[in-house]
Chains A and B, each alone.
Chain A
Amino acid sequence: EVQLLESGGDLVQPGGSLRLSCAASGFTFSSYSMSWVRQAPGKGLEWVSAISGSGDRIYYADSVKGRFTISRDNSRNTLYLQMNSLRAADTALYYCAKFGMGASGSFSHFDYWGQGTLVIVSS
Protein backbone atom coordinates (compact mmCIF):
# COMPACT_ATOMS: atom_id res chain seq x y z
CA GLU A 1 0.00 0.00 0.00
CA VAL A 2 1.36 3.38 -1.01
CA GLN A 3 1.81 5.74 1.91
CA LEU A 4 3.05 9.32 1.93
CA LEU A 5 3.62 11.00 5.28
CA GLU A 6 4.48 14.69 5.35
CA SER A 7 6.08 16.46 8.28
CA GLY A 8 7.85 19.70 9.14
CA GLY A 9 5.00 22.16 8.95
CA ASP A 10 5.06 24.90 11.57
CA LEU A 11 4.35 28.53 12.38
CA VAL A 12 7.17 30.68 11.00
CA GLN A 13 7.75 34.41 10.74
CA PRO A 14 7.82 36.20 7.38
CA GLY A 15 11.27 35.92 5.87
CA GLY A 16 11.94 32.70 7.73
CA SER A 17 12.78 29.21 6.50
CA LEU A 18 11.31 25.75 6.88
CA ARG A 19 12.06 22.29 5.51
CA LEU A 20 9.25 19.88 4.79
CA SER A 21 9.75 16.13 4.50
CA CYS A 22 7.67 13.39 2.94
CA ALA A 23 8.38 9.78 3.88
CA ALA A 24 7.26 7.38 1.18
CA SER A 25 6.57 3.66 1.34
CA GLY A 26 4.78 0.94 -0.58
CA PHE A 27 6.41 1.57 -3.97
CA THR A 28 9.84 1.82 -5.57
CA PHE A 29 10.48 5.44 -4.64
CA SER A 30 13.40 6.05 -6.98
CA SER A 31 11.32 5.03 -10.01
CA TYR A 32 8.76 7.78 -9.67
CA SER A 33 8.71 11.51 -10.05
CA MET A 34 7.29 13.29 -7.02
CA SER A 35 5.66 16.65 -6.44
CA TRP A 36 4.55 19.17 -3.85
CA VAL A 37 1.10 20.72 -4.11
CA ARG A 38 -0.30 23.28 -1.68
CA GLN A 39 -3.69 24.60 -0.68
CA ALA A 40 -4.13 27.90 1.10
CA PRO A 41 -6.98 28.02 3.64
CA GLY A 42 -10.29 28.11 1.81
CA LYS A 43 -8.57 28.19 -1.58
CA GLY A 44 -7.89 25.80 -4.42
CA LEU A 45 -4.99 23.51 -5.17
CA GLU A 46 -1.73 25.03 -6.42
CA TRP A 47 1.10 23.00 -7.92
CA VAL A 48 4.43 23.98 -6.34
CA SER A 49 7.29 21.81 -7.60
CA ALA A 50 8.23 18.47 -9.11
CA ILE A 51 11.34 16.30 -9.24
CA SER A 52 12.20 13.28 -11.38
CA GLY A 53 13.00 9.90 -9.89
CA SER A 54 16.75 10.40 -10.13
CA GLY A 55 16.52 14.04 -9.12
CA ASP A 56 18.08 15.32 -12.33
CA ARG A 57 15.02 17.17 -13.54
CA ILE A 58 13.39 19.77 -11.30
CA TYR A 59 10.57 22.22 -11.97
CA TYR A 60 8.98 25.03 -9.98
CA ALA A 61 5.93 27.24 -10.10
CA ASP A 62 6.79 30.87 -10.76
CA SER A 63 5.38 31.79 -7.34
CA VAL A 64 8.13 29.87 -5.51
CA LYS A 65 11.03 29.90 -7.98
CA GLY A 66 14.19 31.15 -6.36
CA ARG A 67 12.84 30.67 -2.85
CA PHE A 68 11.93 26.97 -2.63
CA THR A 69 14.16 23.98 -3.36
CA ILE A 70 12.86 20.47 -3.93
CA SER A 71 15.12 17.48 -3.38
CA ARG A 72 14.97 13.78 -2.63
CA ASP A 73 17.01 11.10 -0.90
CA ASN A 74 16.26 7.83 -2.62
CA SER A 75 18.25 5.89 -0.01
CA ARG A 76 15.83 7.15 2.62
CA ASN A 77 12.69 7.13 0.41
CA THR A 78 12.14 10.75 1.38
CA LEU A 79 11.14 13.88 -0.52
CA TYR A 80 12.00 17.35 0.76
CA LEU A 81 10.97 20.95 0.21
CA GLN A 82 13.29 23.63 1.53
CA MET A 83 11.35 26.88 1.82
CA ASN A 84 13.22 30.17 2.27
CA SER A 85 12.12 33.81 2.34
CA LEU A 86 8.66 32.73 3.37
CA ARG A 87 5.74 35.07 2.84
CA ALA A 88 2.22 35.23 4.24
CA ALA A 89 1.01 34.05 0.84
CA ASP A 90 2.90 30.77 1.39
CA THR A 91 0.54 29.87 4.24
CA ALA A 92 -1.03 26.60 3.17
CA LEU A 93 -1.45 22.90 3.66
CA TYR A 94 1.41 21.31 1.74
CA TYR A 95 0.73 17.95 0.13
CA CYS A 96 3.30 15.47 -1.09
CA ALA A 97 2.05 13.68 -4.21
CA LYS A 98 3.35 10.75 -6.23
CA PHE A 99 3.20 10.94 -9.98
CA GLY A 100 1.36 8.21 -11.83
CA MET A 101 2.43 6.97 -15.22
CA GLY A 102 -0.05 7.50 -18.00
CA ALA A 103 -0.73 5.36 -21.03
CA SER A 104 1.97 7.14 -23.02
CA GLY A 105 4.59 6.39 -20.39
CA SER A 106 4.72 9.96 -19.15
CA PHE A 107 4.22 11.05 -15.56
CA SER A 108 1.03 12.92 -16.21
CA HIS A 109 -1.01 12.93 -13.02
CA PHE A 110 -0.89 12.58 -9.24
CA ASP A 111 -2.11 9.15 -8.20
CA TYR A 112 -1.37 9.20 -4.47
CA TRP A 113 -1.40 12.06 -1.99
CA GLY A 114 -0.33 12.42 1.63
CA GLN A 115 -2.53 14.03 4.25
CA GLY A 116 -0.54 17.28 4.18
CA THR A 117 1.47 19.37 6.62
CA LEU A 118 0.40 22.89 7.59
CA VAL A 119 2.69 25.86 7.13
CA ILE A 120 1.63 29.17 8.65
CA VAL A 121 3.65 32.28 7.89
CA SER A 122 2.78 35.01 10.33
CA SER A 123 4.37 37.45 12.74
Chain B
Amino acid sequence: QSALTQPASVSGSPGQSITISCTGTSSDVGGYDYVSWYQEPPGKAPKLMIYDVSNRPSGVSNRFSGSKSGNTASLTISGLQAEDETDYYCSSYTRSNTYVFGTGTKVTVL
Protein backbone atom coordinates (compact mmCIF):
# COMPACT_ATOMS: atom_id res chain seq x y z
CA GLN B 1 0.00 0.00 0.00
CA SER B 2 2.38 2.67 -1.18
CA ALA B 3 1.19 6.25 -0.93
CA LEU B 4 0.09 7.95 -4.11
CA THR B 5 2.69 10.38 -5.44
CA GLN B 6 2.01 14.11 -5.28
CA PRO B 7 4.41 17.02 -5.78
CA ALA B 8 5.61 18.34 -2.44
CA SER B 9 4.73 21.89 -3.37
CA VAL B 10 2.95 23.91 -6.04
CA SER B 11 2.78 27.68 -6.20
CA GLY B 12 1.01 30.34 -8.20
CA SER B 13 0.09 33.98 -8.19
CA PRO B 14 -3.38 35.22 -7.27
CA GLY B 15 -5.78 34.72 -10.15
CA GLN B 16 -3.67 32.07 -11.83
CA SER B 17 -4.53 28.40 -12.21
CA ILE B 18 -2.48 25.60 -10.70
CA THR B 19 -2.71 21.83 -11.05
CA ILE B 20 -1.74 19.20 -8.50
CA SER B 21 -1.03 15.72 -9.81
CA CYS B 22 -1.65 12.44 -8.01
CA THR B 23 0.03 9.38 -9.51
CA GLY B 24 -0.81 5.83 -8.57
CA THR B 25 -1.09 2.52 -10.35
CA SER B 26 -3.63 0.47 -12.24
CA SER B 27 -4.55 -1.08 -8.87
CA ASP B 28 -5.82 2.19 -7.48
CA VAL B 29 -6.08 5.48 -9.38
CA GLY B 30 -6.07 3.88 -12.81
CA GLY B 31 -8.45 1.10 -11.93
CA TYR B 32 -11.33 2.99 -10.38
CA ASP B 33 -13.08 6.33 -10.69
CA TYR B 34 -12.93 6.68 -6.89
CA VAL B 35 -10.35 9.43 -6.54
CA SER B 36 -11.08 12.16 -4.03
CA TRP B 37 -9.29 15.31 -2.96
CA TYR B 38 -9.04 16.92 0.48
CA GLN B 39 -7.97 20.33 1.70
CA GLU B 40 -6.32 20.36 5.12
CA PRO B 41 -5.86 23.78 6.71
CA PRO B 42 -3.28 23.91 9.53
CA GLY B 43 -4.71 22.55 12.74
CA LYS B 44 -8.03 21.64 11.16
CA ALA B 45 -9.65 18.47 9.93
CA PRO B 46 -9.49 17.61 6.22
CA LYS B 47 -12.31 18.91 4.04
CA LEU B 48 -13.64 17.05 1.01
CA MET B 49 -13.15 19.09 -2.18
CA ILE B 50 -13.67 16.58 -5.02
CA TYR B 51 -15.01 13.01 -5.09
CA ASP B 52 -15.26 10.34 -7.77
CA VAL B 53 -12.57 12.09 -9.84
CA SER B 54 -14.52 15.19 -10.80
CA ASN B 55 -17.59 15.68 -8.61
CA ARG B 56 -17.76 18.70 -6.35
CA PRO B 57 -19.71 18.53 -3.06
CA SER B 58 -22.23 21.26 -2.46
CA GLY B 59 -20.60 24.30 -0.93
CA VAL B 60 -17.23 23.80 -2.59
CA SER B 61 -16.22 26.59 -4.95
CA ASN B 62 -16.41 25.84 -8.66
CA ARG B 63 -12.82 27.08 -8.88
CA PHE B 64 -11.87 23.54 -7.84
CA SER B 65 -12.06 20.82 -10.48
CA GLY B 66 -10.76 17.29 -10.88
CA SER B 67 -9.82 14.98 -13.71
CA LYS B 68 -8.02 11.72 -14.41
CA SER B 69 -5.95 10.23 -17.19
CA GLY B 70 -4.62 6.72 -16.82
CA ASN B 71 -2.92 6.30 -13.46
CA THR B 72 -2.75 10.04 -12.74
CA ALA B 73 -5.47 12.21 -11.27
CA SER B 74 -5.32 15.97 -11.09
CA LEU B 75 -6.82 18.77 -9.03
CA THR B 76 -6.97 22.18 -10.66
CA ILE B 77 -7.54 25.36 -8.71
CA SER B 78 -8.46 28.25 -10.97
CA GLY B 79 -8.52 31.90 -9.98
CA LEU B 80 -6.09 31.16 -7.16
CA GLN B 81 -6.87 33.03 -3.93
CA ALA B 82 -4.92 33.59 -0.75
CA GLU B 83 -7.37 31.39 1.15
CA ASP B 84 -6.37 28.43 -1.05
CA GLU B 85 -2.91 28.35 0.52
CA THR B 86 -2.76 25.12 2.51
CA ASP B 87 -2.16 21.38 2.12
CA TYR B 88 -4.00 19.12 -0.30
CA TYR B 89 -4.24 15.32 -0.38
CA CYS B 90 -5.62 12.93 -2.94
CA SER B 91 -7.06 9.54 -2.09
CA SER B 92 -8.12 6.47 -4.03
CA TYR B 93 -9.92 3.20 -3.47
CA THR B 94 -7.68 0.22 -4.21
CA ARG B 95 -8.05 -3.28 -5.59
CA SER B 96 -7.41 -4.65 -2.10
CA ASN B 97 -10.65 -3.07 -0.80
CA THR B 98 -8.56 -0.49 1.02
CA TYR B 99 -7.90 3.20 0.56
CA VAL B 100 -4.65 5.04 0.00
CA PHE B 101 -3.78 8.72 0.37
CA GLY B 102 -1.31 10.80 -1.55
CA THR B 103 1.89 12.19 -0.10
CA GLY B 104 0.37 15.66 0.13
CA THR B 105 1.01 18.95 -1.64
CA LYS B 106 1.57 22.34 -0.08
CA VAL B 107 0.00 25.09 -2.16
CA THR B 108 1.61 28.51 -1.87
CA VAL B 109 0.02 31.69 -3.18
CA LEU B 110 2.82 34.04 -4.19
- Are both chains from one complex? yes
Given A95-B45, A110-B38, A103 and B101 touching (CB < 8 A)?
Answer: no
Q: Does B46 contact A (CB under 8 A)?
A: yes
Chain B nearest CB from A43 CB (Å) reads 8
Q: A114–B52 contact, CB under 8 A?
A: no
Given A45-B104, A113-B46, A103 and B55 touching (CB < 8 A)?
Answer: yes
Give the residues in chain B near A109, CB-CB below 8 Å.
Answer: 34, 36, 48, 51-52, 91
Give the residues in chain A near B1, CB-CB below 8 Å.
Answer: 61-63
Q: Does B103 contact A (CB under 8 A)?
A: yes
Interface residues of B in 46-92 (CB under 8 A from A): 46-48, 51-52, 55, 57, 89, 91
Given A44-B3, A59-B97, A110 and B104 touching (CB < 8 A)?
Answer: no
Q: A44–B101 contact, CB under 8 A?
A: yes
Give the residues in chain B near A95, CB-CB below 8 Å.
Answer: 45-46
Size bracket, chain B contacts: 20 to 34
Chain B nearest CB from A3 CB (Å) reads 12
Interface residues of A in 102-118 (CB under 8 A from B): 102-104, 106, 108-116
Q: Does A50 contact B (CB under 8 A)?
A: yes
Q: When chains A and B are docked, how far (Å) is the Cα of A37 from the Cα of B89?
A: 13
Interface residues of A in 33-68 (CB under 8 A from B): 35, 37, 44-47, 50, 59-63
Give the residues in chain B near A100, CB-CB below 8 Å.
Answer: 48, 51, 57
B residues whose Cβ falls under 8 Å from a Cβ of A: 1, 3, 33-34, 36, 38, 40, 44-48, 51-52, 55, 57, 89, 91, 93, 96-104
